[in-house]
Structure 1
Amino acid sequence: MSSSALEPQAHSRAHPSSFGLLVGAVGVVYGDIGTSPLYTLKEVFAGHYGVQVNSEGVLGILSLVLWSLLWVVSLKYVLFMLRADNGGEGGVMALTALARRATAGYPRLSGLLVLLGLFGTALFYGDSMITPAISVLSAVEGLDVALPGLGHWVVPVTVVLLIGLFLIQKHGTARIGILFGPVMVIWFVVLGVLGIHGIVQRPEVLQAVNPWWGFNFFLAHPGIGVTILGAVVLALTGAEALYADMGHFGRKPIARAWFSLVLPGLMLNYFGQGALLLENPEAARNPFYLLAPDWALLPMIGLATLATIIASQAVISGAFSLSQQAIQLGYIPRMQVQHTSSAAQGQIYIGLVNWALMTCVVLLVIGFGSSGALAAAYGVAVTTTMLIDTLLVSAVMLLLWRVPRWLAVPLLLGFLLVDGLFFSANVPKILQGGAFPVVAGVILFVLMTTWKRGKNILIQRLDETALPLRGFVDSIGIQPPHRVQGTAVFLSASPDAVPHALLHNLLHNQVLHQQVVLLTVVTRDTPRIDEDQRFEVTRYESGFYRVLLHFGFMEEPDVPQALQACRIEGLNFTPMGTTYFLSRETVIPTRHLGMALWRERLFAFLHKNANSSLRYFQLPVNRVIELGTQVEI
């Protein structure tokens, strides 16, 4: 089994303390799941599920919530999935890379798992849109409890708060964690204190610790037993963000924060709300806020609003990490990635992702208008992603880790059974507003598969007209052109062919530099590459060199810096003596074999608007020559 996570902070110059990492993890990672008490029991007992606010109903639901948290979050994600790290990185994309490595000898299975991983990635973005909307809405709705008549201000206030959250993203998750961590620590302590206050009034609520109450609920309510899991799953939202954010803080701080603070605070509060419902069934309209004493209601609304703003950070920062991985692995077009911390490699910001999420979140708040309406849409994307995580980790566990089957199979079947039940309970939500994350996921899935397939077709078309490298070098030796001083670096996607930029340069300028480097940048399935594995160099005659530069999917490919670290006899990569040649392809959609014409047109649009190789590889602007070519696909 995989060893402990390789935390980015371990490679930084400034080593944050364990306590600092724990507080930061509480602020960034657990905001989402930490604010679920605001709306989970409110949704369960809203009336449309048919759950009675009596001893049997309350204890049954509390038992389901407790054991769902213990099984899905504690066992599956914290103790198990966090060990499925890809060089310290987590999330469905990093897990897909592991699964692809595990199934290298099974091409069809590997292709299926990659498609599953891409769909899980797409659904995660859908979840990233709904989480901020429902979390902040549920907190601000407390205004209507404390000050009846102000309900019409809930949506405008929520929109303003969310826009402010997205505006501060460019400052980085490291700074946000430092700012938000202490607030979330206070939040979980307050959750626990309020819960204890409620439990003291009706201590019999602690009977729900017995899992029999959960089983009995299914037996007593055969019609709604599985359906109610569609509301219970609201208590689990944020587990996937927990896994995706592993690269920001590492496995150990995340696990310690969960067991020492987050889980106790959540369960005490859920049980406290349950005790309140046993005491006063009318409190079902908003058990979270009504659990607080009257004098504490307004301060609780303020604290809850801060906590839900922070809650949104878990999925937003997870979306940034996932996007960077997808870019490096070639599943989405290149975008500008900004590193916001010199100390931690995992702290990034992607402007296009940030503004797209902000637009969708604001539209969701305005369109749905309440947390209850959004609850119908919530859970579909979450449960589907959880199920995909289990399928992917099954391949990793059985084929890569080679865990004994007698141990792996029962555990994985247990995960699949529970995930399958939650997924089945959420399928009916698709017709009740849950279509949004599904539609968003399908659209993003089509974009990602179109981009990946289009890039492969483009490379194939270029290879069809490319000259073999060996024959070209031999011809240069027979009929040498005029040579000029310096080093020319020609970037090419194919390591075995002559770059089109080289042919165009030779045809039009009829000169070659003294040293010619044919460079291919290769992205590996591991997050980072050791420096001694960075280069593969092949020397040819006539001053030609074939260089492969290897980068991990979490690394920022700085080509000039990497080449200067490449010590090769006879090669000089001094900044003023090195010129970079790029080929800029203009894609022309056709009806030839390839993709459907509409997908080719979509790919051509994405390719035209993708971040340029010049900026992506951090090439010096005044030392780059771009040569254009048209390619029919």
Structure 2
Amino acid sequence: MFGDIGTSPLYALHTVFSIDGGAVAPTANDVYGVLSLIVWSVTVIVSVKYVGVIMRADNDGEGGVMALAALAGRLYAGRPRASLLLVVGILGVALFYGDSIITPAISVLSAVEGLQVAAPQLAQLVVPVAAVILTLLFAAQRFGTGRVGRFFGPITLLWFVVLAIAGLAQVVKDPGALRGLSPTYAVSFVGAHPGTAFIAMGAVVLVITGAEALYADMGHFGRGPIARAWFWVVFPALTLNYLGQAALIIRNPAAIDNPFFRLFPAWAQLPMVILATAATIIASQAVISGAFSLSRQAVQLGLLPPVRIRQTSEQEGGQVFLPAVNAILFVGVLVVMLAFRSSSRLATAYGVSVTGALVIDTLLLLIVARALWRWKAWKILLAAVAFGGLELTFLAGNLSKVVHGGWLPLLIAAVVFIAMTTWRRGREILNRNGRLKEGPLDEFISELTARGVPRVPGTAVFPHPGKDSTPLAMRANVEHNHVLHEGVIIVSASAENVPHVPADERVTVDHLGATDDGIQHVAVRYGFSDKPDLPAALQAAAAAGLFVPGTGDLATASYFLSRGTIARTRGKGMAGWRKSLFIAMAHNASNPSIYFGLPQDRTITTGSTVDL
């Protein structure tokens, strides 16, 4: 979880002193000023905002901008503001995806580039080696966060120990670097060179990349372990290493070409390349796991089409693997790395999406703090100035990067945002048009009785969005086969804006006004971190005695799915190109029978056409 933020020392200070053609000079005053900005940015944003405050705003244990948006939306349920908060959350997720594409590429490249220091003759191998490493990393995702974590954990601990020792060795040689711990040097630096400081802020933000991933991964491990590891290990190690790099640059300004690897003697540089590479693999793992968590939440909330989600831990509900998301990230990371080919060039694209996500988290946090925690106005104002003011400065400092590569994460974010909002709107239109074609359920049941439709032994289950309209598969079965099963269960699954719904609150059975016609409706509620297993939910309802006698044996029940063809029309509600995008996304969605855990040998799919 600390891999992303823990590998920032590899490239942060180097980027600060190389940005904009060396606008920040490696003089003592500038070094102290930059060091102070780094230390206090990490303190305010990561230690105070994320670990100290925002992780208290978990949504039933889940973190990340989507969980935070869902929590804020629940507080304003039924009001217009709730929809706006969901859109803000979608934007935050989209920006996180931009970060998720760039982080693995820049992290691994920055580590392997240590070869240029330890063995310059191997410089041409940097990109191929990085590509192989990333390929192996994404291939290992199918084993799950737990198994990967047991291998990565000791390496991460070793990494932070080495960071601390390397930094401390330089501080002992030049204790004057400790001056950079004082916030007065940051204030003096900004006051004396406001233009230079503004440029520097565009690179200083690199030290807090990973804060949003830290929050998004909270569902994997919980707030307590994260806080203890941060304050006892990670934060001290990072601080010591930045102090050590500053001390080295003051003594030897030429070290700005790669201050991290220059901390080590020549004999240790190649081993450090190996250790740094392992650490950056772990850094990539942090955002990949976060992307899995946020993607599952988005699917459950109806913001992305259903995809195959595999639970990789029996103990931790937050540990999941999404093959489709893994493949998309892998392709995106490789394309970005092969296009930019160096960490310094990628650094120009980094930061815009990160700072945008930070600002959105702060906005949602202030809403939750006011509505849920009942913070007084002065506390809200203090948090807005301390967090939002600093983050807006970072955002402004990074806007200059847009034309130099910063457009890349914004483009990725725009694509994700359009895809999510298109899927959400398209589903609304399809559901509305589908209900018109399905007709009222009560009228259909009355028609069955009037026509005397024969009932055959067995139980038929019809997954359907609600109980007001008739499942198209049920209507087709009667019209073409002229029979209906003795036991009919219409089951609806809905995702709540909470990670988990307790088992005793998950299922509700409605007999639809009659207990002798064998037709019942079952509403199943899931949290966005629950597995939508409909057969298991029905078995639980039967075990609880919620069905009327004679429902039948659910172990042999047949499942009938209505999977219609989407017909693009000229109807209003969504632009034509977005309709085409929705249809393409629907064609690539996971099979509903797999998504809902239906038995493949007892599931029948019937076709129909629904206008979009």
Q: CA deviation at 1:412?
A: 2.9
CA distance in 1, matches of 2:157, 2:509: 52
CA distance in 2, matches of 1:447, 1:282: 47
Q: CA deviation at 1:476?
A: 2.9
1:53 and 2:32 aligned: no
Correspondence for 1:626 among 590, 593, 605: 605
Give deviations 1:421-446, integer Å, cap 9, x for gaps.
11111111111111110001101111
Write the letter of the residue equivalent to 1:68: S
Structure 1 match to 2:328:
356
CA distance in 2, matches of 1:177, 1:609: 31
CA distance in 2, matches of 1:202, 1:220: 24
Correspondence for 1:562 among 526, 537, 540: 537
Superposition map of 1:371-382 within 5 A: 371-382=343-354
CA, structure 1 residues 453+47, in 2 after alignment: closer, same or farther (shift >3 Å)? closer
Matched residue SS, 1:450: helix
Superposition map of 1:233-632 within 5 A: 233-540=205-512, 541=514, 542-566=517-541, 567=545, 568-570=547-549, 572=551, 574-632=553-611
Superposition map of 1:109-128 within 5 A: 109-128=81-100
1:90 and 2:90 aligned: no
Q: CA deviation at 1:474?
A: 2.9
Between 487-496 and 154-163, report the one with greater CA deviation: 487-496
Write the letter of the residue equivalent to 2:59: N
Matched residue SS, 1:520: strand
CA distance in 2, matches of 1:539, 1:492: 16
Write the letter of the residue equivalent to 1:582: L
1:211 and 2:183 aligned: yes
Matched residue SS, 2:383: helix
Structure 2 match to 1:17:
none
Structure 2 match to 1:162:
134
Give deviations 1:339-397, integer Å, cap 9, x for gaps.
12223222111111111111111111111111100000011110001111111122222
Between 33-42 and 146-155, report the one with greater CA deviation: 146-155
Give deviations 1:559-589, integer Å, cap 9, x for gaps.
1111011032325463453111110111011
Matched residue SS, 1:570: coil
Alignment check: 8 A CA contact 1:580 1:625 kept: yes
Give deviations 1:16-66, integer Å, cap 9, x for gaps.
xxxxxxxxxxxxx00000000000000111152511111110000000000
Between 44-53 and 578-587, report the one with greater CA deviation: 44-53
Structure 2 match to 1:102:
75
Q: CA deviation at 1:405?
A: 2.7
Correspondence for 1:73 among 46, 62, 65: 46
Q: CA deviation at 1:92?
A: 1.1
Write the letter of the residue equivalent to 1:553: F
Q: CA deviation at 1:87?
A: 0.5
Between 465-474 and 289-298, report the one with greater CA deviation: 465-474
CA distance in 1, matches of 2:102, 2:540: 45
CA distance in 2, matches of 1:386, 1:602: 29
Q: CA deviation at 1:152?
A: 1.1
Q: CA deviation at 1:400?
A: 3.0
CA distance in 2, matches of 1:357, 1:608: 20
CA, structure 1 residues 441+389, in 2 after alignment: closer, same or farther (shift >3 Å)? same
CA distance in 2, matches of 1:240, 1:585: 39
Matched residue SS, 1:472: helix
Alignment check: 8 A CA contact 2:349 2:402 kept: yes
CA distance in 2, matches of 1:597, 1:133: 35
Percent identical among aligned pairs is: 47
Between 555-564 and 113-122, report the one with greater CA deviation: 113-122
Q: CA deviation at 1:259?
A: 0.2
Q: Which runs of 5+ in 2 are unaligned?
A: none
CA distance in 2, matches of 1:233, 1:516: 58
Query: What RMSD, in angstroms, separates the aligned Cα atoms of the two structures?
Result: 1.3
Structure 1 match to 2:12:
40
Superposition map of 1:11-30 within 5 A: 29-30=1-2
| Aligned pairs, number | 604
CA distance in 1, matches of 2:571, 2:193: 58
CA distance in 1, matches of 2:519, 2:123: 72
Alignment check: 8 A CA contact 2:19 2:203 kept: no
Between 173-182 and 342-351, report the one with greater CA deviation: 342-351
Structure 1 match to 2:155:
183
Structure 1 match to 2:111:
139
Matched residue SS, 2:460: strand
Alignment check: 8 A CA contact 2:9 2:238 kept: yes
Alignment check: 8 A CA contact 1:490 1:581 kept: yes
CA, structure 1 residues 202+559, in 2 after alignment: closer, same or farther (shift >3 Å)? same
Output the TM-score relative to the length of structure 2. 0.97
Structure 2 match to 1:7:
none
Alignment check: 8 A CA contact 2:499 2:528 kept: yes
Q: CA deviation at 1:246?
A: 0.2
Q: CA deviation at 1:467?
A: 2.1
Give deviations 1:473-493, integer Å, cap 9, x for gaps.
333333331011111111111
Give deviations 1:133-191, integer Å, cap 9, x for gaps.
11111111111111122211111111111111111111111011100000010100110
CA distance in 1, matches of 2:19, 2:70: 43
Alignment check: 8 A CA contact 1:103 1:395 kept: no
Write the letter of the residue equivalent to 2:188: N
Alignment check: 8 A CA contact 2:506 2:526 kept: yes
Alignment check: 8 A CA contact 2:299 2:307 kept: yes
CA distance in 1, matches of 2:214, 2:561: 40
CA distance in 1, matches of 2:189, 2:76: 41
CA distance in 1, matches of 2:370, 2:476: 50
CA distance in 1, matches of 2:62, 2:579: 33
Between 468-477 and 550-559, report the one with greater CA deviation: 468-477
CA distance in 1, matches of 2:363, 2:37: 23
Q: CA deviation at 1:549?
A: 0.6
Write the letter of the residue equivalent to 2:523: L
Alignment check: 8 A CA contact 2:518 2:551 kept: no
CA, structure 1 residues 78+571, in 2 after alignment: closer, same or farther (shift >3 Å)? farther
Q: CA deviation at 1:496?
A: 1.3
Alignment check: 8 A CA contact 2:19 2:200 kept: no
Write the letter of the residue equivalent to 1:87: D
